[in-house]
Chain A
Amino acid sequence: MADRPSRRGILKAAGTLAGAGALLRLSAKPADATPDMMQDAVRAAIGEAPVKKGKIKLDLPPLVENGNSVPCTVTVDSPMTAADYVKAIHIFNEKNPQPNVISVKLGPRAGRATLSTRIRLADTQTVTAIAEMSDGTCWSDDIYVIVTLAACVEEPKP
């Protein structure tokens, strides 16, 4: 009787193994960006210019079923003349592994400061768009997006 492993012993061992497995899974997950990292990325992109709300509109669905491909449109209110145009548009996120999404350079030749693309979202988070104007001012808009199936987590096909 003493040689047989006890039920309690087996359960304990199984629990330890499961715990180790969970730890491994956790450590294998890449670190997510934080709102602080996003702020750093914003400063790296636009410098120290103050960012005000308005003039730019970020269009994203508020509830996203699949974070692997999220349609996203940014529209900036600007006459796009040689004297007054949008210099750049940046999109940032809070919780993907990397805070940058896209940075676009345009000029008066664009005619209309609108950009559409498809992005990845790894988590429910706030997405921010920032427009840099030719006069040096910066304008932002942000939107809180709920993501039910996150990008980057699905296992690749063997």
Chain B
Amino acid sequence: MIGRALINVPATAKRGDVIEIKTLVSHIMESGYRIGVTGQPIPRDIIDDFVCTYNGEEVFRARLYPAIAANPFISFFTVATESGTLAFSWTDQQGATRVQTASITVEQ
């Protein structure tokens, strides 16, 4: 299950500024390589896809593997082009998706 997400996007920026975006989402990221108390491997349960769109246009996409630590933290940059919405979506291997948005105001 994908838990709560924390997103850090500057509230305002000047047009053309390069802004840093930090995301953290609550998820166990079970690698599938650990052995449980019964001696059986614990089934894999990971988020494998992360996408960030800026006013509908994809600006960043990541494919995650079990080697990403629990509660995946991803930070990246984008250019502030216009005021609007940044949408972040995490998809786990079962296809469940969590979408969270943040808005940004871009001054001229």
- The 6 closest A-B CB pairs, nearest first, are A111-B18, A111-B79, A69-B69, A118-B69, A112-B77, A116-B75
| Min C-beta distance of B7 to chain A, whole Å | 15
The contact sample of 16 A-B pairs, CB cut-off 8 A, is A28-B35, A28-B39, A30-B33, A30-B41, A68-B70, A69-B69, A102-B67, A104-B61, A104-B76, A105-B62, A106-B60, A114-B76, A115-B75, A116-B75, A119-B69, A158-B37
- CB atoms of B70 and A101 under 8 A apart: no
Q: Which residue of A lies closest to B80 (CB)?
A: A111
Point out the residues of chain A lying under 8 angstroms from B31, CB to CB: 97, 120, 151-152
B99: Cβ under 8 A from any A Cβ: no
B102: Cβ under 8 A from any A Cβ: no
Which residues of B42-88 have CB atoms within 8 Å of chain A's CB atoms? Answer: 42, 54, 57, 59-70, 72-79, 81
- CB atoms of A109 and B39 under 8 A apart: no
**A102 to B77 CA separation, bound complex (whole angstroms):** 17
- CB atoms of A110 and B77 under 8 A apart: yes
Query: Could you tell me which B residues sit within 8 Å of A by CB distance?
Result: 18-19, 31, 33-37, 39, 41-42, 54, 57, 59-70, 72-79, 81
Point out the residues of chain B lying under 8 angstroms from A111, CB to CB: 18-19, 77-79
- Interface size of A as a range: 35 or more
**A59 to B99 CA separation, bound complex (whole angstroms):** 30
**A136 to B31 CA separation, bound complex (whole angstroms):** 32
| Min C-beta distance of B73 to chain A, whole Å | 5
| Min C-beta distance of A86 to chain B, whole Å | 11
Name the residue among B34, B36, B42, B57 with the largest chain A CB count within 10 angstroms. B34
**A98 to B73 CA separation, bound complex (whole angstroms):** 20
- CB atoms of A102 and B69 under 8 A apart: no
**Contact A117:B66 (CB < 8 A) given known A104-B61, A106-B60, A109-B59:** no
**A121 to B75 CA separation, bound complex (whole angstroms):** 19
**A96 to B65 CA separation, bound complex (whole angstroms):** 11
**A108 to B37 CA separation, bound complex (whole angstroms):** 48
Q: Which residue of A lies closest to B61 (CB)?
A: A105
